[in-house]
Structure 1
Amino acid sequence: MAAYIEDYALVGDCRTAALISIGGDIDWLSVPRYDSPSIFGALLGTEEHGSWRLAPTDRDARATRRYDGDSMILVTRWETTGGIAEVHEFMPIDGERVDVIRRVVGVEGSVEFGTELRMRFDYARTVPWVLQAGDDDEPALRGIAGPDAVVVRGVALHAEDHVHRGTLTTRPGSTDDLVMTWQRSYRPDPDPLDVDAALRETREWWSHWAGRIDHDGPYRDQVVRSLVVLRALSNLDTGGIVAAATTSLPEQIGGGRNWDYRYVWLRDAALTLDVLVCHGFLHVAEHWRKWLMRAIAGDPTQLQIMYGIAGERDLPERELTHLPGYEGSSPVRIGNAAVSQYQADTIGEVLVALESARDSGLEETSMSWSLQRELLYQVEANIDRLDQGIWEMRGEARRFTHSRAMVWAALDRGVRAIRAHGLEGPLDRWERLRDKVAHEIDTTLVDPDTGAFVQYEGTTEVDAALLQLPQVGFCEPDDRRILATVKRIEQTLMVGGLVTRYRTDAGVDGIDGGEHPFMACTFWLVEQYARSGRIEDAHDLMKRACATANDVGLFSEEYDTDARRQTGNIPQALSHLAFVRAADALAGTSADG
């Protein structure tokens, strides 16, 4: 069985990543990209679905771990009865190849390590053809399956029933490097890697990137870690930003709310972009804007709410019935049916992020503003269309308040682009439409009894996504309607001191089962508290929310407050970026963090 979700750390190369448990197991790795088929898939089943174990043979060994400074280099320190050793694990930032490096360093005494390699290609549907490719002095193992191949170097591995095992023993100051390199099977084997140089270059790359982060205030270390995670989820080649590193980790253990988040949602990517721009990374905005132009290239009426990492459009949802799922949570899904949904909020979030970049100094080109103008024309063309909302409801389409507010935000950013930046567009028409949508929200989407915004037209329920209305400027944080909404959220959506998205038992989402508090929504409430003057409440909630991070600072999508466990996909971009926003809001207060 896979480890608890919170027991995993991430190492990545800004194209893909490996999830490594505190017990020394790589239980998830898709290559060469996040959305590629897995080589190691034990996260969604058992070790027989692919894993790579590296740990002391001493069953009483104790492990602690950390990241090396602000890098994505994971350092696990093992203490045994015979000695102490460390394992340094990372993936070099090199677009020409994909390597996973596991360096074993002797510290004190001697420690025997065992390694077990189970390669299972194509989501564990294929056991590779494996052959010895080295010699006694330089052992190497080659695994081949269809278009994919890997070479594992650094330790002699011997086969036993589709498992390859080996051992090594450390001494003080010793270094043993285990390196797995992915390649296309029809290419020659890549040269052995200079691990010393790769480690130095990887550390320098991350340190240089993190050293430019602009943040002063409480929770600085966690802010830096979260921004580093967001960078790791951003593809260095294409500019696409994935929503999470994993697929099908359940929102409720044993339930069916298991989704594939390894794609680029325009909304999540735009929100990530906004946070990165606010912390000094304007070049990331330019890279993503180019990705956006390529992804949407052609007819804007064919706009999707999500794409593949390079802008691919075909992302059909399928179930992998041979995988039992994390702790039996099935189905396991690849692809996502939400790709075909209409979500009216998406363009608003994109235009809000691009305005932030524009205000920060990113110059518009004739193509970039033309694209935004075409997106606004799409907002006009669908001005009264019902949608599935931010939470991708699989029930009937509705008039969601959050969606209407984001339609307002899209038109508002078009107006501001013309007024503040001199760009061309139908100013009067967009102003009229913006004001019409605002009037509609004020008159039809506010509960007359409580004074709170409602989730959608015709209900008195609330939705934590309403906390984004002041974030985009639809109302001030101390507006009486949002304050009434906060009161209703506190009354109906708080579970175990954290915030759920909406009441799943209200029957609006068209999905069976429930879920747990949603970390992004919890951080949105922290931000709302801070910006409306409830400073003590903001700090109290922030501390509770931050306590859900694992030992290396990773937030998942949700958190089970009863079992005190992370649930959902990890690391979740939306959780990390919402945390950074909350920390920024607290940085503007006088209270200490």
Structure 2
Amino acid sequence: MPSRIEDYALLGDCETAALVSRDGSIDWLCWPRFDSEACFAALLGTPEHGRWQLRPHNASSDAGAKPVRRYRGDSLVLETEYETAEGAVTVVDFMPPRGQASDIVRIVRGRRGRVPMRMEMTIRFDYGCTVPWVSRVGPQTLRAVAGPDMVTLRTPVLFRGEGLCTVSDFTVGEGESVPFVLTYSPSHLPPPEPVDPEAALCDTLQFWDDWCARCTFEGPWRDAVIRSLVTLKALTYRPTGGIVAAPTTSLPEKLGGVRNWDYRYCWLRDATLTLLALMNAGFYEEAQDWREWLMRAVAGSPNQIQIMYGIGGERRLQEWEVPWLPGYEGASPVRIGNAAAGQLQLDIYGELMDAVHQARLGGLGVTDQGWSLQCALIDHLATVWNQPDEGIWEVRGQSRHYTHSKVMAWVAVDRMLKSARKFGLKAPLDRWRALRDAIHQNVCEHGFSPEMNSFVQYYGARHVDAALLAIPLVGFLPITDPRVEGTIAAVEKHLLQDGFLLRYRTEEADDGLPDGEGVFLPCTLWLADAYVLQGRRDEAVALFERVLALCNDLGLLSEEYDTKAKRLVGNFPQAFSHIALVTTAHNLTRGAKPAKQRTQTNGNGGK
């Protein structure tokens, strides 16, 4: 059985990522990209579906071998310390910044005594399905090949085959170091030259030290913010600038449930907060890479815009189920690809236009071609904004007129008007003003329930949705508007559960799926942001620190939390949660960031 979700650590080289458990098992790795087929898939099955474990030989039976782990400084270099009856060792795990190839380096360092160690590696390409042909290439090198894929293991210790698994039993004494280097390469090319493990460690630490030195955030939660930003950087596909929502697929939103989705793609819904999180912390290069990825991804016919894309901007993300993987703790099906890519979600227009507007304000210029593309997208939005859609939460039930979707359509037009005026860009201002005002009036007439004194999830509904918190956060209405105050109160009344916020109540929303889900951590932080705007700082801090307390021992968060089982659930680590964490930290420490950045309007349609 795989470990608890919160018991995993993240390794990454800014092109793919691995998850390693407390007991030294790498249970998830897709090579060579985030969205490639996994060669270690025990996370969604059993050890026979692929893993790489390295730990003291008696760790499972020796109570004294309970590991203590940490990242070294602000890096992604993981150090796991084991205390055993025979002595003490530290296992150092990391992925160097990618050079000629992608590597995972594991170094066992003896600290005291002589500790028997065991290494077990089961390589299974194609999400745990394909057994490779494994051969020895000299006394210290192993090679595994299947179709287009090849991995090479280099280590000075002896190893052997045992039941379609590679194992090694060895002993590490005080002051000794034993390295293992696993390298991926295409099978039709010669194996890459080996990396020097110690030199690679120095290079990796220097890479993260240099990167983190650029951070401008200062405040009482700096460590949590830095760890969130490092996680966001690790989830960035460096060749293109795209940022995946998570490095995993099908980790359930409810233990044993069916809400299991593939998150190894880039969502437009995260666009603005991602950009602001990076810019406000001083990472303008990454922000520009993300902005440029956005513009390339949506380029083309405006009526073909999607809610998400592949890390290179790919559009075909067909969803299929993996029959041979039983799923995390039996949560099935295991899904590869994401059918939601074909949904209509009107909110993405607002996210895209707001992100590009904020980029311009931050000094990240946009070309004339980029403005022309934006104008074409707005022309298309004018023809579809009044249609029902699937909404920000990608429901697989009936399409509806979601209030949040209409609000974000308003944001799209509003930000285009602001950009045109601020930067002297050519635009049909009168037509856009009329469109913006029409959307605003439509939302206020149909999205607000006088009986509930609140905006509602969709037109005609009798329940609320945490996405309604966007209404003041994006400047659709001011925080002091009685309708906004009523909406925040309704969200608190109906969606707060054990001190955290649900996205919506699944039993009310008829979202096309059985089962419920955990509380949603980004939405909980949105409520804290709304408190900041209301001047309820103490409540905002309390809510923020309640979420911080859910971070695992390494500062990582998933998307949701099961308050009954007291476990993180959903794909892990989740960019959306860490972006929200950075956003709220900025709101609490710098009053003008970023809650005020998205609310520069008088609240009456931006007139």
Partner of 1:391: 393
Contact 1:16-1:32 within 8 A present in 2 as well:
yes
Map of 1:171 onto structure 2: 173
3-state DSSP class of the match of 2:519? coil
Residue 442 of structure 1 corresponds to which residue in structure 2? 444
Q: Could you report, residue by residue, the CA deviation over 1:103-148 in whole angstroms, capped at 9, with x for unpaired residues?
A: 111112222211100000010110000011122xxx1110001100
* 2:43 aligned residue: 43
Name the counterpart of 1:161. Answer: 163
Q: Is the 8 A contact 1:71 1:206 kept in 2?
A: yes
Is 1:131 aligned with 2:132? Answer: no
Q: CA deviation at 1:378?
A: 2.1
Q: What CA distance in whole angstroms lies between the structure 1 residues aligned with 2:47 and 2:543?
A: 38
1:420 aligned partner = 422
1:311 CA drift (Å): 1.0
- Any idea what the Cα deviations from partners look like across 1:336-385, whole Å, max 9, x if unmatched? 01011000000111111111111011122112222222222221121212
The alpha carbon displacement at 1:528 in A equals 1.2
TM-score (norm 2): 0.95
Aligned counterpart, 2:5: 5
Runs of 4+ in 1 over 4 A off after TM superposition: none
Instruction: Tell me how many residue pairs correspond in the alignment.
Output: 587
Cα deviation for residue 293 of structure 1 reads 3.2
Q: Distance in 1 between matches of 2:70 and 2:12?
A: 15
- When normalised by structure 1's length, the TM-score is 0.97
Q: In 2, are the aligned partners of 1:289 and 1:368 still within 8 Å (CA)?
A: no
> Counterpart of 2:599?
none
Aligned to 1:152: 153
Work out the CA distance in 2 between the residues paired with 1:26 and 1:453: 46
For residue 397 of structure 1, give the secondary structure of its aligned residue in structure 2. Answer: coil
* Offset of residue 270 of structure 1: 4.2
- C-alpha displacement of 1:269: 4.2
CA displacement at 1:525 relative to structure 2: 0.9
Q: What SS does structure 2 have at the residue aligned with 1:170?
A: strand
**Structure 2 counterparts to residues 376-525 of structure 1, below 5 A:** 376-525=378-527
Q: How does 1:128-277 map to 2 (within 5 A)?
A: 128-135=132-139, 139-154=140-155, 155-277=157-279
Q: In structure 2, give the amino acid aligned to 1:51.
A: R
| Residue 295 of structure 1, CA deviation | 2.3
Are residue 67 (structure 1) and residue 71 (structure 2) matched?
Answer: yes
2:571 to 569, 572, 575: 569
Q: Which consecutive residues of structure 1, in runs of 5 or more, have no partner in the other structure?
A: none
Please give the per-residue CA displacement for 1:196-237, whole angstroms capped at 9, x wherever unaligned: 221111111111111111212231100110011111111110
Question: Structure 1: how far apart are the matches of 2:366 and 2:36?
Answer: 34
Q: 1:412 to 1:173 in 2, by over 3 A?
A: same
The code of the aligned residue for 1:12 comes to: G
Q: Which residue of 1 aligns with 2:366?
A: 364
C-alpha contact 1:389 1:402 (8 A) present in aligned 2: yes
Contact 2:502–2:519 (8 Å) recurs in 1: yes
Which residue of the partner structure matches residue 319 of structure 1? 321
Distance 1:294 1:418 in 2: 21
**What is the 5 A alignment of 1:78-117?**
78-117=82-121
2:346 alignment partner, SS class: coil
Q: Which residue of 1 aligns with 2:348?
A: 346
Alpha-carbon offset, residue 95 of structure 1 = 4.4
Look up the match of 1:76: 80
1:378-426 per-residue CA deviation (whole Å, 9 max, x = no partner) reads 2112121211000001111111111111001000010001111111111
Cα root mean square deviation, aligned: 1.4
* Aligned equivalent of 1:559: 561
Q: Secondary structure at the match of 1:579?
A: helix
Q: What SS does the corresponding residue of 1:81 show, helix, strand or coil? A: coil
Question: Which deviations, in whole Å up to 9, do the C-alpha atoms of 1:55-101 show, x marking residues without a partner?
Answer: 11123212011111111111111111122211111111124311011
Q: Which moved more, 1:420-429 or 1:564-573?
A: 420-429
Partner SS, residue 586 of structure 1:
helix
Distance 2:348 2:420 in 1: 21
Shift of 1:560: 0.6
User: Percent of pairs identical after alignment?
Assistant: 49
- Which residue type is aligned with residue 214 of structure 1? T
- 2:28·2:43 contact (CA, 8 Å) conserved in 1? yes
